[in-house]
Structure 1
């Protein structure tokens, strides 16, 4: 050991190691001092509250009454936000706050995120969490659109609202709280309900950069009419949009998925939205966040409206605004947050260009293929019956129905249930009325002849497999009428569903 310590080379190496450690410690200490000095100077430069009126950074958006008098913390936050949004803020501090995102997304990804302009429509449970995540992740221009105010009942799921915010417009509440976290973020507040008539105004370019369209639109609306109008507008205008479906009555976060609206299922709001969009010619191309969780015994459900509310008059007149729900929707406070963060995550990855590889939901393609095969087989039997039992007449018979048509009829038009019993399993489609004449359409002759069925979507009904077998035997191939087998209520329901199919056929 003595020989090692007396060795000049060993002594030199040890000295170098110690010197490097001392130098590294000095550099780190200097960097910490610099950072601490910047933070200290920043805090000292914030104007102190005084009796004089502080220039507000909060945008006044409401005529419901004066803004709440800011407390000392609000005054500090507003003063800092005013400076930051006018460029008087150390960008190194911003990068330090966004350091984890920076190393994850890379410099180019974070730069794209900081340059982005995102519109959040609907600032309740889902929208508030999405907005908070975007601001904390680096998005520096956010437009908030909502007509509603913070209520006591919304505090179980809102991202940032406090008791002091009750009665404040939701858009203003978000700005008020988030400037304390990200003072450099610019908010554009719109206290307004989204409707198709004002879509162009609410989705216009950022002030001072009118030619710049939103990089992304977040749909967190819980009203079906407004939701459909927004998604249709974004689809037609080519605006990137993601839509949050129903978080109400859901409790299983592992069932929350991201997928195309044409493939979502087990979600009532998604089904209703998809059906209405398809009737307007939009069947796919819109990403949605939805839950595949099934309803079940003991689980929460939409509460019925009390009888005394019906006695007050038209139920539609009971809501705050027309077309908005008046029944209480049970919401577990954690689920809107899950939906909101999934929405924000999608937007962040898309804007930053980060690779995305979502696990698709369990496909129902095999079920649709099986239903299509059954439609084909039943049409062949009908053709043989009408054509005198000839087997060769069905060779090469084509049915003008696609798996996409099957999906629409089963999931949208018939709501995933048998029109006869309401059973949701082992579903099939079959012709409803017995044809009065031939169903065979021939084009060409000989080897070039094409044979097809004249079947239309509006001719089909969704039933269980057992019900389809009985219907084929007794109605389509037999002598019984619809009235012999089914109640007037069932017949009227089928006719109503077939009218929806007829409307959809116009956009095929």
Structure 2
């Protein structure tokens, strides 16, 4: 049985429950790729993935879907094949679009039980968060994982409790303007490494962030 080991840990009823849940993952890079991997291997049978980017050679050091053999391919195409290879019974919808204020209402619907926000663009991230908040759609958002080496101290909390995260600081300010009272995020409590001016990243921080986000989603969707 494909998810027998899951059943031993969370129980048969929860395995069956997860089959009927729908998860939307927006952003399929360093964080989103690991989140999608964990969501698929946890037995979610309805997954929608959104990204308009292609795999670049510079992604090979940290993104789980990136290989030398698929450089130049669309990330959603590669991730689609990967999820189907993990679980052929999974219904996977791929959307090659960049989330913005105009299309968010067409992509994000109340049919989804959870939204995983792994977007890099600050504007798109805020548009998505605001839409989900106003429409009572559950969402968890990743904060900045760049310029951090250590995977330690990457935790899940409310955005208004975050510290040492420049991205969270900016988003908090914008959310206050929109009267958004809370947002579940995964962020690093490690201070940003300012050694290099150019954005840098390795697999450790984004990988752990993606796994943590997927864990939060699964834990919220099962009955413990």
Decide: shared fold, TM above 0.5: yes
From 326, 333, 349, give the equivalent of 2:219.
349
TM-fit CA distance, 1:108 = 1.8
Residue 51 of structure 1 is matched in structure 2 by none
Q: Whole-Å Cα distance in 2 between the matches of residues 158 and 184 of structure 1? A: 24
User: Does the Cα contact within 8 Å between 1:113 and 1:352 map onto a contact in 2?
Assistant: yes
Q: Whole-Å Cα distance in 1 between the matches of residues 196 and 113 of structure 2? A: 35
Residue 152 of structure 2 is matched in structure 1 by 254
Q: Whole-Å Cα distance in 1 between the matches of residues 113 and 133 of structure 2? A: 14
Matched, 1:283 2:181: yes
Q: Whole-Å Cα distance in 2 between the matches of residues 264 and 191 of structure 1? A: 32
User: Does the Cα contact within 8 Å between 2:154 and 2:205 map onto a contact in 1?
Assistant: no
From 207, 210, 218, give the equivalent of 1:340.
210
Q: Moved runs in structure 1, 4+ residues, more than 6 A? A: none
Matched, 1:215 2:113: yes
Runs of 5+ consecutive residues of structure 1 not aligned to the other structure: 1-95, 205-211, 304-327, 355-508
Residue 309 of structure 1 is matched in structure 2 by none
From 157, 163, 170, give the equivalent of 1:272.
170
From 50, 54, 71, give the equivalent of 1:166.
71
Runs of 5+ consecutive residues of structure 2 not aligned to the other structure: none
Residue 61 of structure 2 is matched in structure 1 by 156
Q: Per-residue CA shift, 1:135-169, capped at 9, x if unaligned?
A: 11100111111111010001111112211211111
Q: Which has the larger radius of gyration?
A: 1
User: Does the Cα contact within 8 Å between 1:301 and 1:330 map onto a contact in 2?
Assistant: no
TM-fit CA distance, 1:300 = 4.6
TM-fit CA distance, 1:238 = 0.2
Sort the Cα spacing of 1:301 and 1:214 in 2 relative to 1 into closer, same or farther, 3 A: farther
Structure with the largest fraction of strand: 2
Q: Per-residue CA shift, 1:450-470, capped at 9, x if unaligned?
A: xxxxxxxxxxxxxxxxxxxxx
Sort the Cα spacing of 1:191 and 1:331 in 2 relative to 1 into closer, same or farther, 3 A: same
Residue 411 of structure 1 is matched in structure 2 by none
Moved more, 233-242 or 246-255: 246-255
TM-score (norm. length: structure 1)? 0.43
User: Does the Cα contact within 8 Å between 1:220 and 1:243 map onto a contact in 2?
Assistant: yes
User: Does the Cα contact within 8 Å between 1:155 and 1:161 map onto a contact in 2?
Assistant: yes
Q: Whole-Å Cα distance in 1 between the matches of residues 2 and 81 of structure 2? A: 19
RMSD: 1.3
User: Does the Cα contact within 8 Å between 2:31 and 2:210 map onto a contact in 1?
Assistant: yes
Structure with the largest fraction of helix: 1
From 8, 20, 29, give the equivalent of 1:124.
29
Residue 190 of structure 2 is matched in structure 1 by 293
